[in-house]
Amino acid sequence: MLRELALHILDIVENSLNAGATRVTIDVNEDTPADRLTIQVADDGRGMDAEMVQRVTDPFFTTRTTRRVGLGIPFLKQATELCNGAFSIESQVGKGTTVTATFQHSHINRMPLGDLPNTILALVVGNSHADFVYRHRLDERSFEFDTRPIKAELGDVPLSEPGVIEYLRREISDSLAQIYGI
């Protein structure tokens, strides 16, 4: 079981990357007046047909050949259902996939968001062939982190250079701290 929503995000994005995505958008929207938390991961990977979309929420379905059970999506779907939430997948072959998970923000069973900065950092540094957009909104405050201008500036300097890791970590943590007002 994954104990943080950030780990579920990491897992869902892993599916996107395995589907050949080159651009992944991660949206976290905390709407406290409506008591809703929405997480959306949208990719430009190879997409799925309607039948496959139906099947991916089945734990005994996986596209992988190394292991025969795929638990990531069923776990996340179950987590939404335990929190007055909903889970949906929209996909189009050749276009990409969007996974949306919503939760009652204040629900007692709702997992914490967890360590988002280190999750985004792991994704960005570990998958330098793909571009990422991470948007986080908390009521009227929000920010957007986009790897494209960063990579354009860096040229062929890798994201795993010590100074760059430090820069990325600070950018993400500071932006998040700002919207939380800490």
Partner 1 sequence: MSVKSLEDLKKIKEEALRKREIRNANARAHITVAMGTCGIAAGARETMKAVLDAIEKDQIAGVLVTQTGCIGLCEFEPIVDVQVGEETKATYGKVSPERARAIVTEHVVGGKPIKEWMITR
Residues near partner 1 (CB under 8 A) are 1-2, 6-7, 10-11, 14, 17-18, 64, 66-67, 70-72, 75, 115, 118-119, 121-123, 125-128, 145-146, 149-150, 153-155, 157-158, 160-167, 169, 171
What gap in Å lies between CA 123 and CA 31, rounded to an integer? 25
Residue position matching structure tokens 């204040």: 106
| Complex with partner 1: residue 84 or 142, whichever CB lies closer | 142
Is 134:144 a contact under the CB 8 Å cutoff?
yes
| Complex with partner 1: residue 4 or 31, whichever CB lies closer | 4
| Complex with partner 1: residue 11 or 31, whichever CB lies closer | 11
Q: What is the DSSP letter of 66?
A: S
Is 2:11 a contact under the CB 8 Å cutoff?
yes
Q: How many CB atoms lie within 10 A of CB 100?
A: 17
Smallest gap from Cβ 31 to partner 1, in A, equals 24
Smallest gap from Cβ 158 to partner 1, in A, equals 6
